[in-house]
Structure 1
Amino acid sequence: MTVTNFHPRPEPVEVARVTSTAAELLEVLWGRASTAPASASQLRVLLILEHQEGINLRTLADHLASTPPSTSRLCDRLQAAGFVERELSRTDRREVRLHLSSRGRAFLTDLRARREETLRSVLERMSAGDRSALLTGLEAFCAVASEQIHGYDESSGSRTA
């Protein structure tokens, strides 16, 4: 499947179009492999908590572009499933801190393993050169996206502004 014909130096808009198509295909592949007991919204919460352990409900709501009551209900379901733990802040008793539980971490580990297995079945059908080019491009993308999302420069191991 060819999504587009590239110019010798592809413009970001061309790469964005192909990347968007790839992301959609990944969602379909992962959906087929999923036995996940968590919705897409719940998975976003787990991934945020994995990177920002101990954030409060308001900060989580901001990350989700949601309201605190909706976010609280989302966390209620995750807590009932044993994926999230809440604890009262030591400095402000009105504030609740959210943590990924050991079961939540195990769920993410298992989910990643299933996703990687699904990807492996596709990658095995690609040539070694295509896999190498994909890896190089994805590593660069991940470094920039991580810095933009988390304010973290993965190549240097330090937080930015």
Structure 2
Amino acid sequence: MVTSSSPRPEPAEVARVTSEAAELLEILWGRAPTTPVSASQMRVLFILEHNEGINLRTLADALGSTPPSTSRLCDRLQAVGYVERAASSISRRELRLYLSRRGRTFLAEVRSRREQALESVLAQMPAAKRTALLQGLEAFVAAASAELHEAEGTGARTA
């Protein structure tokens, strides 16, 4: 709940409420199991969806993890058919990681379940508040995407 009487809330206040909303979303979405995939493995799938053909080191960097730990995550995802590995056309020693068709289907199903859970909550909101939320979220997505792309451009990436 917004506590500020100011028409222009400070970023810190919005961050606090956004964090609270994110925590509630995790609880709401946690009701729909993503078995056989852990939260860390979900992050791998989301990253691969947007970065087809990245190598293990780049994926590990994106996860803030080590290549051996990331390799084990990918081993498990490959075992359930969600990730594919292919030799790089540049170096035979390097493997490229791809989301498989089954992995894409899995992500689509997860998103569908999440959206259904959200629709139930959003249906309880007045239309004007949903409109304001949509506008705010669109601006948030644009700003977050720009910041992520900027970070990717300045970070050390191994293609």
TM-score with structure 2 length normalisation? 0.92
Query: Does the alignment pair 1:8 with 2:7?
Result: yes
For structure 1, the 5+ residue unaligned runs are 153-158
The residue number in structure 1 matching 2:120 is: 121
Partner of 1:156: none
- Partners of 1:94 and 1:6 in 2: how far apart? 60
Name the count of aligned residue pairs.
154
User: Structure 1: how far apart are the matches of 2:5 and 2:62?
Assistant: 35
**CA shift for structure 1 position 6:** 4.5
Question: Taking every aligned residue pair, what percent have the same amino acid on both sides?
Answer: 68
Q: Secondary structure at the match of 2:54?
A: coil
Q: 1:102 to 1:5 in 2, by over 3 A?
A: same
Q: Which runs of 5+ in 2 are unaligned?
A: 155-159
Aligned to 2:139: 140
Query: 1:113 and 1:6, CA in 2 relative to 1: closer, same or farther beyond 3 A?
Result: farther
Q: Is the 8 A contact 1:83 1:104 kept in 2?
A: yes
Change (3 A) 1:5 1:33: farther
CA RMSD of aligned residues (A): 1.8
Give the stretch that moved more between structures: 98-107 or 5-14: 5-14
The CA distance in 2 between the partners of 1:15 and 1:64, in whole Å, is 26
SS in 1 for 2:105: helix
Between stretches 115-124 and 141-150, larger displacement belongs to 141-150
TM-score normalised per structure 1: 0.91
- For 2:84, what is the secondary structure of its paired residue? strand
